[in-house]
Amino acid sequence: MADIAALKDLLNSNVVSVCKLLLPGGEEKSNEYRCASIDGGKGQSLGVHLKGAKAGVWADFNGGEGGDLVDLWRKAKGMSLSEALNDIRKYFGVEDPKIKVQTKSYRRPSRPACITPSGLVRDYLTEVRNIPEASIHAYKIAEKGDRIIFPFLSPSGELKLVKSRKAADGEKPVPTEKDCEPCLFGWQAIDPDAREVTICEGELDAPSLHSYGFPALSVPFGGGKGAKQQWIENEFEEMQRFERIYLALDNDKPGREAAEEIAERLGRHRCYVVKLPFKDANECRMEGVSQEDIAAAFDAAESLDPKGLRQPMELLDDVIGIFYPEPGQHVGYETPYWKLKGKLRFQPGDTTVWTGATGAGKSQVWSDCAVDWIKQGSRVCIASLEMKGKWTLARMVRQITGSSEPTKKFIKAGLMEVTGGLIIYDHVGKSKIGDLLAIFEYCRAKYGCDQFVVDSLMRLGLSADDYAGQEKAMYELVNWTADRPVHSHLVAHARKGGSASGAPESEDIKGGMEIGGNASNIISIWRNRKREDELNFGERDGEALTNAEMDELRKKPGVILNVAKQRNGDYEGKIGLWFDQQSYRYYCESNFNPLSRIYIRPSEVPEFNAADESALS
């Protein structure tokens, strides 16, 4: 991703051309670029290092300014830091992918009738919590009766969220209104050109850190992971400008979980964990910790170790969790098919290959699962390279609503049901695996996607006999997935002929053997077309079928789902599925009830059409 660290590397790698662009009229002399001033021209007063560890470092000996090439770009063009970074991205053509996403609509809170702290609130903040008034004012903390008001402002000053709490110990800040945007608290105290920032875990910790000389932003909903850190999606672009992000979160399990997720999504290369002398920054203020001690804690901040470096006992809780998962512990997403309940899970770090003959229904089955994954709490990114996004969504609307002819309002309600949990990469055609993974990385970081679907292998720009290329693409997908808390799904066609028993096996995947060999799971889909023909035409081998024979046919599954491989699970086997043409869903019994899997009912849609309800009955 094109954050400030990546842009610095690009600038330093092209230091000579950047100098000529920003400082025209200067000249190269030995290992430096020399010019008259920040405006360029012939002279010696400003020098830029061109080689070695100091490449890109500059100093204007007359003006007394200096810095790196980001600073030079900003000064030479008279831009703010954010403007300069965007301009650098355009210059190198490395803008982040522009993914069209229908995000949740947030309401803007009404501006509270409050005043600058002057009474009870001021006394509580300054005397009990030991926060200096200068820091209170920097964060525009206000007073309303006996309540403290915390305004969550955007960098441009727009009010996005308001939280309040009583000026009393034991109280926690709560939003004053529902459905407001999750965002960081404290932008009003951050220099717009700052390249370092601290993230903490409480609205009182931010001004506390500010008083120590470390202006901070507070997460809106405390420690923990998942939905707790939903703010990342809304603040992602703004956070791109920080070269170093200090994580001074609470020294407890939720704080550590939050630090891990924030670093994972914003970039481990620029995140550093600060271990404060006490649980949080405000407790440090109350305990009288000196500024020197806090500065020492920041100097000792550590980066998070790359994943994979572990001592056995560090994995104790994870191993126990396999045998005894805690309630709510994420151990993978399941299919909506009760016969596979507890037997097949799509776990983080694993890659699943879906295979089957053309038209067998493999894409419809994973789509049926994807709708249910979203209801389970997953955020899914789909790259259906064989089908326009509108057709992918049309199929999912039928699976969500259970209706083959939903009304316009029912369609809208169906799409809103998955908005926030589904990202569509709307591109049909070939896409190199590296380009696709760049899109996935962006969606993982910004939107928190934890499942990714590639449909299909044949659209990755590889010929059918390019086994080496297929192996390389599979390795890239598997390695990318294994390094992140995500699960990837790859659709691959089966060889013609396939297994004599119907559902394809691992060795029936079309292409190089490494495709199935490197997959964590292999799921194959087989469609019984002979059964379909006999039911449609009511005859077998030219002879009419009796009603009893037709009933027996209906009791036989029309689709076989074969779990041909599951590396991190005990179950491998086949289950029968019955396809419902109206909803495009699959069920585990012949006498299925469509109402048993309702994601949204027409009666829940304002002014719904009665035809929607009757279509489900």
Share of the chain above pLDDT 70, in %: 93
Predicted local distance difference test score (pLDDT) of residue 518 = 94
Predicted local distance difference test score (pLDDT) of residue 102 = 58
On whether the CB atoms of residues 266 and 235 are closer than 8 A, the answer is no
Return d(Cα 220, Cα 217) in angstroms, integer. Answer: 9
In 415-470, beta strands by DSSP E: 422-424, 451-455
HEC-encoded secondary structure of 506-530: HHHECCCCHHHHCCCEEEEEEECHH
**Residue 500 or residue 313, greater confidence:** 313
Q: How sure is the predictor about 544, in pLDDT bands with cuts at 50, 70 and 90? A: very high
Return d(Cα 67, Cα 76) in angstroms, integer. Answer: 12
Predicted local distance difference test score (pLDDT) of residue 500 = 47
Average pLDDT over residues 408-422: 91
Give residues with Cβ within 8 angstroms of 555, minimum separation 6. 590
Predicted local distance difference test score (pLDDT) of residue 496 = 72
Q: Set out the domains of the chain in order of their start, with CATH numbers.
A: 4-92 (3.90.580.10), 120-303 (3.40.1360.10), 346-527 (3.40.50.300)
Q: At what angle do helices 253-266 and 433-447 cross, to 10 degrees?
A: 140
Tens of pLDDT, residue by residue over 85-100, are 999 999 999 877 666 5
Return d(Cα 409, Cα 397) in angstroms, integer. Answer: 12
Predicted local distance difference test score (pLDDT) of residue 388 = 93
Per DSSP bridges, beta strands 351-356 and 487-493 are parallel
Quote the mean pLDDT of the chain.
91
pTM, two decimal places: 0.76
Q: How sure is the predictor about 3, in pLDDT bands with cuts at 50, 70 and 90? A: confident
Predicted local distance difference test score (pLDDT) of residue 30 = 87
Q: Is residue 613 over pLDDT 60?
A: no
Predicted local distance difference test score (pLDDT) of residue 307 = 58
Tens of pLDDT, residue by residue over 46-56, are 999 999 989 99
Tens of pLDDT, residue by residue over 137-182, are 999 999 999 999 999 999 999 999 999 999 998 889 999 999 999 9
Tens of pLDDT, residue by residue over 174-219, are 999 999 999 999 999 999 999 999 999 999 999 999 999 999 999 9
Give residues with Cβ within 8 angstroms of 121, minimum separation 6. 141, 142, 143, 146, 147, 148, 167
Predicted local distance difference test score (pLDDT) of residue 329 = 62
Instruction: Return the closest-CA partner of residue 204 out of 265, 291, 284, 299.
Output: 284
Which residue's entry shows tokens 């926690």?
172
Most confidently modeled range among 86-100, 129-143, 600-614: 129-143
Give residues with Cβ within 8 angstroms of 89, minimum separation 6. 2, 7, 95, 96
Average pLDDT over residues 241-245: 95
In 133-172, beta strands by DSSP E: 142-144, 147-153, 159-166
On whether the CB atoms of residues 337 and 344 are closer than 8 A, the answer is no
Instruction: Return the closest-CA partner of residue 418 out of 64, 50, 95, 101.
Output: 101
Average pLDDT over residues 518-546: 94
**Residue 6 or residue 22, greater confidence:** 22
Instruction: Return the closest-CA partner of residue 161 out of 142, 141, 184.
Output: 184
Q: Is residue 328 over pLDDT 70?
A: no
Average pLDDT over residues 427-442: 94
Tens of pLDDT, residue by residue over 453-506, are 999 999 998 888 888 999 999 999 999 999 899 999 999 999 875 544 578 888
Share of the chain above pLDDT 90, in %: 76
Average pLDDT over residues 588-609: 76
Q: Is residue 543 over pLDDT 70?
A: yes
